[in-house]
Structure 1
Amino acid sequence: GQGGVPFGTTFLIETFGWRGAFTALGIISLATLVPLALLTKEPPGKSGATADEAADEPMPLPTNLVVPWLSAAVLFCCLCMAVPLMHLVPLIQGQGISAPEAGSVLFVMLIAAILGRIAFGKLADNIGAIPAYMTASLWQTALVFVFTQIDSMDMFYVFAPIYGFGYAGVMTGLLISIRTLTPASRRAGSTGIILAFAWLGHGLGGYQGGLFFDLTGTYTVSFANAALAGVLNLLIVGTLFVTIKRQTATPAQAMR
């Protein structure tokens, strides 16, 4: 889905224009997701004792501290993430490449991301949730600006999956970190709040990318801002990691 839909959308835009493409995607989504949602069943309920034990499991930090901490981190993390997701295709088109061909680079990047999500889940099993999240964030931050330095389709095809593999681990690491650092009784609400800031970051990243392109005529500042946001995310998550290690007598257990 994450690779095929953007790629297919380029053909819809070429055929119907962007308004027609949005309309077509809406109709397709409505026709498929609503029937599938009606087929969804509630999972078997847990016993009261099991739920209580999960809720009472000690956390390394208070939830009221963890939620705003991760919300701030993911705001900048997703600001960084959003820029290539929304502006990589027009960046390539600016070099005289057609929309479908530019979209194929995004397709390759997001196909590689499927493998990255699985790999970073395994990495989280081995080194812990927050270290895995930080590793993926560092990967994304270090590489995002490189897109502006590429001037051939061959290099885009080589570099995009490398970037995509690492960037995909960000959401894997984040979701596992939320599960690790919040009690079961507050996990759903905490996840909703943190992911709301993630989507806000996506919106801000996409907006600033377009804004600075309009102001400067290039994507250099837009992608540089993405890298800067990635650095801020790493500082916030790194501080959280150090704080947890200081708060717990068994840091390895708390991180996993």
Structure 2
Amino acid sequence: MTILDSQPDSGGDIDSRYAWTRLALSVVLGTIACVGTWSVVVVLPTIEVEFDTIRGGASLPYTCTMLGFAAGSAVMGRLADRFSIVAPICIGAVLLCAGYVLAAFSSDIWQFALVHGLFIGVGSASGFAPLMSDLSHWFRKRRALAVTIAASGSYAAGTVWPLVVEHFQVSQGWRATYVGIGLFVPAAMLPLAFLMRRRPVSAAIAEAESTTREARVSLGLSPRALQGLLVVAGFACCTAMSMPQVHLVAYCGDLGYGVAIGTQILSLMLGLGIISRLASGLAADRIGGGPMLLLGSAMQAAALLLYLFFNSLSSLYVISGLFGLFQGGIVPMYAVIIRQFLPPREAGARIGFVIMATILGMAFGGLSSGLIFDASGSYRLAFLHGFLWNCVNLALVAWLILRPRAKPRAGEAAFR
């Protein structure tokens, strides 16, 4: 029996004022929890010098963080299905506290990377996939918008935390900054978790089961086949996405613009990514998650091409802004598609598994871009590498949308 089976049969909370309040709490929680995916990007140049390593070695903690985030996404999603969203939030808060304090006392790059993987990455996963899954049960008419807003917490983290970390890194040092983050996160997350104790009702879940079952008939793909395709597509798009997000700060430093400028450009990119996520949610509620995913992938590819040809300071601001506007809505669309076609009682685990693939793509892309830089002395080939992976994603999503399929019968949902 799952936690959803024990609820009274009332669907009155769906699309209600409470649902929107819960969404607001989710954004705050996501913003706090996802600090782990951004703090390491800001301290990357400092770590490279302090631990006397090369760019590929300095990228290792980020890669370990993403690996931990990936594993945590699957585990936290299953916990949310089984025990409600409170369990992953509380566990994540404790892991983040322990991770940041331990990382502050690391004496070499391997200790630093290991702590990021086992504690910080896993803990940060509580602020992404489980929240998207949870919110998808509370909305019907505006589900895509709600999911993308919930996912915006990670970009809000990317907008706020790099500036905070850079400020305190300069004034207090990165170690003291890490200890401060470790103390702040549980103090903020644990009280918010207990405001999320209310659970979805079984009547709404049963209705959603019937709707997704009918939608799968019109799609003509088994749950396993659709899940597998989304996993590969997610890995490919995020391998491409990782190049600017992970290495932009270091790239700006190499070009002579400075780490502080790179941090500002990264914050601009991720801030505009929030706008992108909101706009993509509104659009997906009208045209469907599939077409919105295809559009986002095509626009991300265009932005990556621009990085190949322009690297002046003004052009980096413009291109990074466009990149944020183009790619922000891509990852939440996987959650929207899963909730449209796959069993809602398994939403946390299934969304978590696809998010795991996207994070593995970020980890692979972040590390491979660093290695390509070390081998070539330039980020030009790294941007090209990202563009080619984006083309893989574009081909898979186009096939999913444009392939012939059975005409839906009355009452069935089409893959718009």
Of 189, 192, 204, which aligns to 1:36?
A: 192
Give distance in 2, aligned partners of 1:247 and 1:199.
31
Tell me the amino acid that sits aligned with residue 65 of structure 1.
A
Residue in 2 that maps onto 1:26? 182
Contact 2:308/2:384 (8 A) holds in 1: no
Residue in 1 that maps onto 2:5? none
Residue in 2 that maps onto 1:64? 224
Alpha-carbon offset, residue 80 of structure 1: 0.9
Residue in 2 that maps onto 1:210? 370
Tell me the amino acid that sits aligned with residue 181 of structure 1.
F
Contact 1:79/1:226 (8 A) holds in 2: yes
Distance 1:189 1:151, change over 3 A: closer
Q: Secondary structure at the match of 2:202?
A: coil
Contact 1:7/1:106 (8 A) holds in 2: no
Residue in 2 that maps onto 1:141? 301
Give distance in 2, aligned partners of 1:255 and 1:73.
17
Residue in 2 that maps onto 1:250? 408
Deviations 1:108-138 (A, max 9, x none): 1111111111111122123221110010011
Residue in 1 that maps onto 2:268? 108
Deviations 1:170-211 (A, max 9, x none): 123222122222122332221111111111111111111111
Tell me the amino acid that sits aligned with residue 28 of structure 1.
F
Alpha-carbon offset, residue 159 of structure 1: 2.2
Residue in 1 that maps onto 2:252? 92
Give distance in 2, aligned partners of 1:238 and 1:55.
27
Give distance in 2, aligned partners of 1:249 and 1:69.
21
Tell me the amino acid that sits aligned with residue 39 of structure 1.
L
Residue in 2 that maps onto 1:12? 168
Q: Secondary structure at the match of 2:196?
A: coil
1:95-174 map, 5 Å: 95-174=255-334
Contact 1:248/1:254 (8 A) holds in 2: no
Q: Percent identity over the alignment?
A: 26
Give distance in 2, aligned partners of 1:130 and 1:236.
11
Structure 2 unaligned regions, length at least 5: 1-156
Deviations 1:76-120 (A, max 9, x none): 111111111111111111111221221111111111111111111
Distance 1:34 1:119, change over 3 A: same
Contact 1:74/1:198 (8 A) holds in 2: yes
Distance 1:73 1:222, change over 3 A: same
Give distance in 2, aligned partners of 1:37 and 1:216.
47
Residue in 1 that maps onto 2:379? 219
Contact 1:3/1:106 (8 A) holds in 2: yes
Query: Higher relative CO (CA 8 A, sep ≥ 6), structure 1 or 2?
Result: 1
- Number of residue pairs aligned between Structure 1 and Structure 2: 252
Tell me the amino acid that sits aligned with residue 249 of structure 1.
K
Give distance in 2, aligned partners of 1:230 and 1:18.
34
More divergent stretch after superposition (147-156 vs 84-93): 147-156
Residue in 1 that maps onto 2:397? 237
Distance 1:120 1:205, change over 3 A: same
Alpha-carbon offset, residue 17 of structure 1: 4.8
Residue in 2 that maps onto 1:53? 207
Residue in 2 that maps onto 1:77? 237
CA RMSD in angstroms, aligned pairs only: 2.1
Give distance in 2, aligned partners of 1:165 and 1:11.
26
Deviations 1:36-62 (A, max 9, x none): 223321334232xx4333213321222
Alpha-carbon offset, residue 215 of structure 1: 1.1
